[in-house]
């Protein structure tokens, strides 16, 4: 029933993102009498946004893009007042009050006031770190993770982001309101150029019902939009002051460079504005390590009888680690059509990256591969596109509809073979790609590592015997409705959904020797004449029955498929996984002078599109393929959960605020710890294999109940403190336990 309902919803399609705008509210009074002024026009200069005060002098402006503004109050018989440099932040009410002075001159100059950003946000009901583009300009670091680790409650370790001690997969990422979380490992899948950020927030103590899928915290980033003036900038940095490994002025060059260019402004008219940022980041040594270097000459091979590699020199350079480069190209941009009361915004992000690093098991100890100039490559490509239309029904009510597309693709393998991994089946190709430098112990397996003083050093030309390709994408969109009801209630409601398609292909092609049953007499002959004549020439059962193909969404040869699983020559061929995440929410922000309440309710629906066994203790095995028969597998039931969220803020004074937050949060675990092919699951069930991440059938979502209480205090004109205490109760985390069975 649920699947039918959500398929219909997907066909509409109406799907939602979180809000990515703020609001301005305040009161306009007569400066001399203190009486409220009704009918005053309050406008944001250079935009079509504005409002008029009601009978009590109150005004509110909704759906304001995040940036700096000049706000003008205009009333007949009074001097105009302009407040400049007023920042609007996502999800935060910016309060500004006007005092107008009577005048008899219509052309009298306006009174100009420069706004100061408050050090204490009195209407925020949870812990928050807010960093603006101006802040970023003054921080002497580059890279988004480097900016994050400067924020309260955030730790970045080995590139992984942790909030308040939570696991890295418990952090959610949003860009312009759209989720950019990698559904397989729950990390961020989009690279954001530092110069393209208008602001970012770290929500650590809980968050409103609009957000979900992250139990520790949310990192929300708002991108820049073109202004009414043209802007262009170029920033280039490099440390290429010397050759790699050469010492200069007491230090080394890591061969890094970073070039960023931005451009933005109006396009034909002020109603159409664009912004574009591009970056190239190259790292000659992606994992910088302290090293004095060393040089061992005349070290013998532990197997001195071999004709090759009997005597060699080991040299590890000073100052850098070789064969660990990273090269990334990124592009962020937006295009805004502002024809009030309708706005249309196109935005997108794209990045492609190539990493080189030592073999799969030498990543943390790269010097074990310095004898070998072959590298593992990893190509990553990610793209996020969205189109958003906003319709302002009246100054206090609007709705927005967003459609989006996200794609992430990763390929990893031996740099010589690339995606032609079947060359591993061709002994001539193997010899050709290794320059004859490796002595093989069988037709396709590389020689054992050299044993240098107890360390397994990889030989020159030693190929990397694995290949992996994975891809995920989702279709999404948004429908949000927002209305300011009276002076005190801001009501939000919406639907949220993402339909993913996930594909995975992984194998170790060097194990074909075991599948084909080559006579042992030829096991050490690397010239043994075995060839393949194009993709598909190798029998299918060779690849899966013994070859170790772990795949879904691809056939046995790495070609994309979209159908359901089926038998092919006695081997399972499985279609892609298609998890569906759906949610709806209702949020009411109640604002009084001395109390702010954020009350919300969120419904989450998770369909992981996973399978489990009817009887895990006694599964039926197909005699021909050695796999668990199809009838033994059943779909994992979807999960439905309701989560209340409640936050309070008590502004005691303009400089002192107490706040508290309570909420229930739910998220799926890492799907790459759940998704495995039928082959892999069948082999593990039958035993004989060791896996770092054992399979979990029908894993439940992770649930967290969080409590927080704290206060903010401004202690000077330039400083404030924020102290908070919190408690979390977490259930359902994936745990791996080592068990020894005697």
CATH of the domain at 24: 2.60.40.1120
Residue 738, pLDDT score: 64
The mean predicted confidence, pLDDT, of the chain is 81
Token pair belonging to 439:
């002595």
- Please tell me whether residues 340 and 199 are part of one structural domain: no
Residue 310, pLDDT score: 45
Residue 513, pLDDT score: 44
Residue 736 lies in a domain: no
- Please tell me whether residues 134 and 64 are part of one structural domain: no
Burial of residue 728 (number of CB atoms within 10 Å: 0-12, 13-18, 19+)? middle
Tell me the range of 402-416, 426-440, 666-680 where mean pLDDT is highest: 402-416
Residue 286, pLDDT score: 73
Boundaries of domain holding 187: 128-223
Q: Is the pLDDT of residue 520 over 50?
A: no
Q: Is the pLDDT of residue 33 over 90?
A: yes
Q: Which tens digits make up the pLDDT trace of 235-254?
A: 999 988 888 777 788 788 88
Residue 244 lies in a domain: yes
Domain boundary among 591, 612, 643: 591
Q: Is the pLDDT of residue 648 over 80?
A: yes
Confidence of residue 42 (pLDDT cuts 50, 70, 90): very high
Confidence of residue 8 (pLDDT cuts 50, 70, 90): very low
- Please tell me whether residues 66 and 95 are part of one structural domain: yes
Confidence of residue 512 (pLDDT cuts 50, 70, 90): very low
- Please tell me whether residues 219 and 236 are part of one structural domain: no
- Please tell me whether residues 100 and 141 are part of one structural domain: no
Confidence of residue 621 (pLDDT cuts 50, 70, 90): confident
Token pair belonging to 467:
């290949």
Confidence of residue 266 (pLDDT cuts 50, 70, 90): very high
Least confident of 9-23, 234-248, 443-457, 680-694: 9-23
- Please tell me whether residues 443 and 335 are part of one structural domain: yes
Confidence of residue 289 (pLDDT cuts 50, 70, 90): low
Measured CA to CA in angstroms, residue 158 lies from 145, 149, 155, 185, 475 at distances of 10, 12, 10, 15, 31
Tell me the range of 160-164, 304-308, 537-541 where mean pLDDT is highest: 160-164
Measured CA to CA in angstroms, residue 96 lies from 21, 82, 119, 608 at distances of 17, 11, 15, 46
- Please tell me whether residues 214 and 236 are part of one structural domain: no
Q: Is the pLDDT of residue 9 over 50?
A: no
Confidence of residue 506 (pLDDT cuts 50, 70, 90): confident
Domain boundary among 61, 80, 114: 114
Residue 451 lies in a domain: yes
Q: Which tens digits make up the pLDDT trace of 544-561?
A: 544 567 788 988 778 898
Q: Is the pLDDT of residue 600 over 70?
A: yes
Residue 518 lies in a domain: yes
CATH of the domain at 178: 2.170.130.10
Residue 304, pLDDT score: 52
Q: Is the pLDDT of residue 84 over 90?
A: yes
Residue bearing the bigger pLDDT, 275 or 528: 275
Residue 514, pLDDT score: 43
SS (H, E, C) 372-394: CCCCEEEEEEEEEEEEEEEEEEE
Number of H helices, E strands in the chain: 7, 42
Q: Averaged over 647-653, what is the pLDDT? A: 94
Residue 528, pLDDT score: 46
Q: How many CB atoms lie within 10 A of CB 644?
A: 12
Percentage, residues of the chain above pLDDT 90: 45
Tell me the range of 8-22, 312-326, 700-714 where mean pLDDT is highest: 700-714
Q: How many CB atoms lie within 10 A of CB 393?
A: 11
Q: How many CB atoms lie within 10 A of CB 608?
A: 25
Residue 704 lies in a domain: no
Confidence of residue 442 (pLDDT cuts 50, 70, 90): very low
Residue bearing the bigger pLDDT, 205 or 128: 128
Domain boundary among 591, 616, 636: 591
DSSP string, 144-197: HHHHHTTSTTEEEETTEEEETT--GGGEEEEETTEE-B-TTT-SB-----GGGE
- Please tell me whether residues 203 and 185 are part of one structural domain: yes
Residue bearing the bigger pLDDT, 470 or 509: 470
- Please tell me whether residues 433 and 578 are part of one structural domain: yes
- Please tell me whether residues 343 and 443 are part of one structural domain: yes
Percentage, residues of the chain above pLDDT 70: 76
Q: How many structural domains is the chain composed of?
A: 3
pTM score, whole prediction: 0.83
- Please tell me whether residues 510 and 557 are part of one structural domain: yes
Residue 694, pLDDT score: 53
Q: Averaged over 478-485, what is the pLDDT? A: 93
Residue 558 lies in a domain: yes
- Please tell me whether residues 282 and 339 are part of one structural domain: yes
Q: How many CB atoms lie within 10 A of CB 295?
A: 9
């Amino acid at each position: 029933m649920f699947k039918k309902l959500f398929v219909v919803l997907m066909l509409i399609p109406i799907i939602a993102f979180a809000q990515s705008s703020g609001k301005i509210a305040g009161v306009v009074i007569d400066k001399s009498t203190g009486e409220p002024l009704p009918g005053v026009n309050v406008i944001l200069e250079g935009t079509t946004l504005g409002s008029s005060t009601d009978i009590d002098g109150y005004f509110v402006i909704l759906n304001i893009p995040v940036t700096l503004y000049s706000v003008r109050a205009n009333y007949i018989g009074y001097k105009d007042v302009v407040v400049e440099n007023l920042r609007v932040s996502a999800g935060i009410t910016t309060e500004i009050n006007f005092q107008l002075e009577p005048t008899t001159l219509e052309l009298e100059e306006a009174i100009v006031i420069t706004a100061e950003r408050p050090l204490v946000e009195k209407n925020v009901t949870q812990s928050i770190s807010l960093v603006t583009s101006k802040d970023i300009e003054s921080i002497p670091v580059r890279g988004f993770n480097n900016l994050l680790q400067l924020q309260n409650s955030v730790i970045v370790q080995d590139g992984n982001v942790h909030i308040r001690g939570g696991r890295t997969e418990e952090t959610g990422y949003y860009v312009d309101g759209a989720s950019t979380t990698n559904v397989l490992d729950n990390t961020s899948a989009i690279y954001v150029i530092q110069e393209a950020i208008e602001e970012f927030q770290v929500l650590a103590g809980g968050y409103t019902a609009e957000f979900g899928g992250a139990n520790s915290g949310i990192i929300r980033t708002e991108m820049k939009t073109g202004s009414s003036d043209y802007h262009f900038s170029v920033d280039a940095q490099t440390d290429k002051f010397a050759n790699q490994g050469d010492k200069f002025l007491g230090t080394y060059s890591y061969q890094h460079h970073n070039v960023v260019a931005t451009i933005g402004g109006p396009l034909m008219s002020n109603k159409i504005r664009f912004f574009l940022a591009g970056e190239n980041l190259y790292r000659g040594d992606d994992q910088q390590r302290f090293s004095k270097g060393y040089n061992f000459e005349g070290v013998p091979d532990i197997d001195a009888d071999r004709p090759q590699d009997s005597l060699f020199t080991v040299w590890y350079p000073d100052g850098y680690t070789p064969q660990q480069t990273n090269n990334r190209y990124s592009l962020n941009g937006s295009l805004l059509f502002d024809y009030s009361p309708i706005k249309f915004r196109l935005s997108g992000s794209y990045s492609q990256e190539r990493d080189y690093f030592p073999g799969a098991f030498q990543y943390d100890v790269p010097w074990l591969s310095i004898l070998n100039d072959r590298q593992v490559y990893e190509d990553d490509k990610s793209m996020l596109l969205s189109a958003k239309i906003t319709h302002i029904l009246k100054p206090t009510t609007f709705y927005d509809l967003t459609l989006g597309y996200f794609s992430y693709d990763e390929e990893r393998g031996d740099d010589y073979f690339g995606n032609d991994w079947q060359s591993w089946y061709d002994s001539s190709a193997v010899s050709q790609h290794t320059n004859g430098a490796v002595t093989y112990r069988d037709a396709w397996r590389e020689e054992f590592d050299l044993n240098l003083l107890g360390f397994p050093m990889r030989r020159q030309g030693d190929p990397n015997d694995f290949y992996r390709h994975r891809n995920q994408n989702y279709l999404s969109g948004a429908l949000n409705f927002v209305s300011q009801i009276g002076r005190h209630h801001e009501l939000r409601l919406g639907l949220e959904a993402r339909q993913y398609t996930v594909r995975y292909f992984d194998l170790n092609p060097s194990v074909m020797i075991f599948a084909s049953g080559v006579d042992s007499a030829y096991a050490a002959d690397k010239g043994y004449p075995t060839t393949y004549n194009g993709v598909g020439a190798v029998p299918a059962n060779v690849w899966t029955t013994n070859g170790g193909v772990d795949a879904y969404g691809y056939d046995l040869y790495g070609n994309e498929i979209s159908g359901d699983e089926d038998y092919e020559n006695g081997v399972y061929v499985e279609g892609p996984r298609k998890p569906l995440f759906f949610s709806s929410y209702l949020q009411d922000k109640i604002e009084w002078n001395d109390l702010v309440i954020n009350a919300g309710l969120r419904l989450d629906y998770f369909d992981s599109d996973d399978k489990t066994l009817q009887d895990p203790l006694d599964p039926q095995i197909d005699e021909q393929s050695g796999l668990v028969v199809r009838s033994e597998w059943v779909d994992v039931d979807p999960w439905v959960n309701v989560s209340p969220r409640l936050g309070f803020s008590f502004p005691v004074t303009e400089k002192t605020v107490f706040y508290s937050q309570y909420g229930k949060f739910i998220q799926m675990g890492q799907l790459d710890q759940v998704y495995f092919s039928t082959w892999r699951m069948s082999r593990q069930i039958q035993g004989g294999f060791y896996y770092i991440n054992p399979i979990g059938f029908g894993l439940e979502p992770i649930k967290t109940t969080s409590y927080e209480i704290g206060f903010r205090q401004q202690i000077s004109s330039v400083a404030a403190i924020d102290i908070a205490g919190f408690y979390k109760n977490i259930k359902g985390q994936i745990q791996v336990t080592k068990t020894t069975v005697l």
